[in-house]
């Protein structure tokens, strides 16, 4: 992907990976528009980065998605990159009764939202021979058992991206997937987690990979987990979850 001269729309751009990616791409000479539900977070990003634009978006609301998409096309007719970054992650109970509100909000935000938004903008992106980028997770390949619903949405989004990439193969639109490892962000209160990858390091490595012709955008720390699926995949899944349970248990002690 060319990393300069684009008009880029990033969901979940008020914090975490979304904000850091927006700021880095803005510095490279791209026109960046961010979105999110928290107006204060969006205003803070705009204030700190003159030139970045912001628009409120409830990714869980289909009508709001349509309205925002129409506004983007009208006000930014050169829009050529969509980064589906918004997501939520909460612990759940796959071994017991899943909270209905958690289930619905996670699936709606992490899976239905990106699909709906991409659908609303796909003709615009076709007209610009643009880029669709999905932010999934290594947990789509090696699920974290205590966030089973989140992990499942990321696996589903990966599958959707594969299908969409095939169907758009002759359109000029590139469908990319960014697969983060554990990164120090607000998700699961990971800002201070020593085992997580520092956000600035992640952004530096992900931009280097994004500037290549790769369709899956991976940092080195993500590659072992991405390579795991296969007939014997549960061995690593079990080992990974045993280690994570120990980490969570020790942090709560």
Contacts of 160 (CB under 8 A, 6+ apart): 111, 115, 134
- What is the spatial distance between Cα 31 and Cα 25, in angstroms, rounded to a whole number? 8
Q: Is 134 a catalytic residue?
A: no
Q: Please spell the DSSP secondary structure of the chain, one letter per residue.
A: ---SS-EEEETTTTSHHHHHHHHHHHHTT-EEEEEES-HHHHHHHHHHSTT-EEEE--TT-HHHHHHHHHHHHHH-TT--EEEE---------TTSPPPHHHHHHHHIIIIIHHHHHHHHHHHHHHHTT-EEEEE--GGGTS--GGGHHHHHHHHHHHHHHHHHHHHTTTTT-EEEEE---SBSSTGGG-TT-TTSBPHHHHHHHHHHHHTSS-SEE--GGGHHHHT--STTHHHHHHHHHHHHHHHHHHHH-
Which residue in the list 134, 141, 150, 202 is annotated as catalytic?
A: 150
- What is the spatial distance between Cα 39 and Cα 44, in angstroms, rounded to a whole number? 9
Token pair, residue 92, equals 């759940």
Q: Which active-site residues does the annotation give?
A: 150
């Amino acid at each position: 992907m060319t990393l300069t001269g684009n008009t880029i729309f990033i969901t979940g751009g008020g914090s975490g990976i979304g904000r850091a990616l927006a700021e880095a791409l803005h510095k490279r000479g791209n026109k960046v528009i961010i979105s999110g539900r928290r107006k204060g977070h969006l205003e803070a990003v705009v204030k700190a980065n003159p030139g970045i634009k912001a628009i409120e978006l409830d990714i869980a609301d289909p009508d709001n998605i349509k309205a925002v998409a129409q506004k983007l096309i009208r006000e930014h007719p050169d829009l050529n990159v969509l980064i589906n970054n918004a997501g939520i992650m909460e612990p759940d109970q796959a071994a017991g009764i899943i909270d209905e509100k958690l289930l619905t909000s996670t699936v709606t935000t992490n899976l239905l939202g990106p699909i709906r938004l991409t659908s609303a903008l796909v003709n615009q992106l076709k007209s610009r021979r643009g880029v669709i980028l999905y932010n999934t997770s290594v947990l789509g390949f090696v699920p974290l058992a205590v966030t089973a619903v989140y992990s499942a949405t990321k696996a589903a989004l990966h599958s959707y991206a594969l299908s969409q990439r095939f169907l758009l193969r002759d359109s000029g639109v590139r469908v990319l997937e960014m697969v983060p490892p554990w990164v120090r962000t607000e998700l699961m209160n990971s800002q201070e987690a020593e085992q997580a990858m520092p956000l600035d390091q992640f952004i530096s490595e992900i931009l280097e990979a994004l500037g290549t012709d790769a369709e899956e955008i991976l940092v080195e720390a993500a590659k072992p987990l991405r390579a795991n699926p296969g007939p014997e995949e549960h061995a690593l899944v079990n080992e990974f979850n045993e280690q994570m349970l120990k980490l969570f248990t020790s942090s709560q002690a």
